[in-house]
């Protein structure tokens, strides 16, 4: 099963999912936790270029292509082999981030960005996408309060940009209802963690019954 975690900045998706992952491992599931952009040495190098705060001149299409390139390399080296071995892959961000950030917030258009990604991913779609939904004001305040998290080039975008990211994610959830589940990320980490576990277990149950 291929699960992706999506959401605006500061949604707490990474921390909240840790609880679910440890429970699933206790239950005997083999889990591969990974992230985008990055997840393999080449893809992490691309990540550094994309998120470098000094790369202010980066063009929006260049940005979209670099995310797609990083995604491709990560699929080839890590995601596809792990899925083939029957593991559950949980990926922190995937294609929908490109659709929301580059397609929606940068204004490149969801379908244009989808097209370059279909080439990169050979139409690999997640089985389940958890959308950690949060008001951008609250998410950005969480980031500011968390001194361990490094601020990247996209964090520095305007509040309007982050609102557009959120609204595009919600639009995508409507467009792909069969794989999206929206989680209220403004709740406590414990509540969100329990919800994530429940949603994943429900999906595993459904897939087993097919």
Considering the complex, state which of residue 101 and residue 169 has its C-beta at the smaller distance from ligand TMP.
Answer: 101
The reply to whether 11 sits near ligand TMP by the rule CB under 6 A is no
> Within positions 99 to 138, which residues make up the interface with ligand TMP, using CB under 6 A?
101-102
By CB under 6 A, tell whether 154 contacts ligand TMP: yes
- Among 93, 162, 166, 179, which residue sits at the site for ligand TMP (rule: CB under 6 A)? 93
Q: Does 152 bind ligand TMP (CB under 6 A)?
A: yes
Binding to ligand TMP, residues 24-63 (CB under 6 A): 36-37
Helices within the chain (DSSP H only)? 13-26, 41-51, 60-74, 80-84, 95-97, 110-121, 136-145, 159-175, 189-209
Provide the minimum distance between the beta carbon of 94 and ligand TMP in the complex, in angstroms, as a whole number. 7
How far apart CA 67 and CA 178 sit, in angstroms, is: 25
CB 154 to ligand TMP: min, Å: 3
Our finding on whether 6 is near ligand TMP (CB under 6 A) is no
Kindly report the number of other CB atoms within 10 A of residue 202's CB atom. Answer: 12
Find where tokens 């083999």 sit: 30
Q: How far is CA 148 from the centre of its chain?
A: 20
């Amino acid at each position: 099963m291929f699960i992706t975690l999506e959401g605006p900045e500061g949604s707490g998706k990474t921390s909240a999912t840790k609880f679910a992952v440890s429970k699933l491992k206790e239950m005997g599931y083999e889990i591969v936790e990974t992230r985008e952009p990055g997840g393999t040495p080449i893809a992490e190098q691309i990540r550094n270029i994309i998120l470098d705060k000094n790369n202010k001149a980066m063009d929006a299409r260049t940005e979209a292509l670099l995310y797609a390139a990083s995604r491709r390399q990560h699929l080839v080296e890590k995601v596809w082999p792990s899925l083939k071995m029957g593991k559950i892959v949980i990926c922190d961000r995937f294609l929908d981030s490109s659709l929301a950030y580059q397609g929606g917030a940068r204004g490149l258009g969801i379908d244009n960005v989808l097209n370059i990604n279909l080439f990169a991913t050979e139409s690999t779609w997640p089985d389940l996408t958890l959308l950690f939904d949060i008001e951008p004001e609250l998410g950005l305040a969480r980031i500011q309060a968390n001194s361990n998290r490094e601020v990247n080039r996209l964090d520095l975008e305007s509040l309007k940009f982050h609102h557009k990211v959120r609204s595009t994610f919600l639009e995508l959830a409507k467009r792909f209802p069969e794989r999206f589940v929206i989680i209220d990320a403004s709740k406590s980490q414990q509540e969100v963690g329990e919800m994530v576990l429940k949603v994943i277990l429900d999906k595993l149950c459904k897939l087993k019954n097919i």
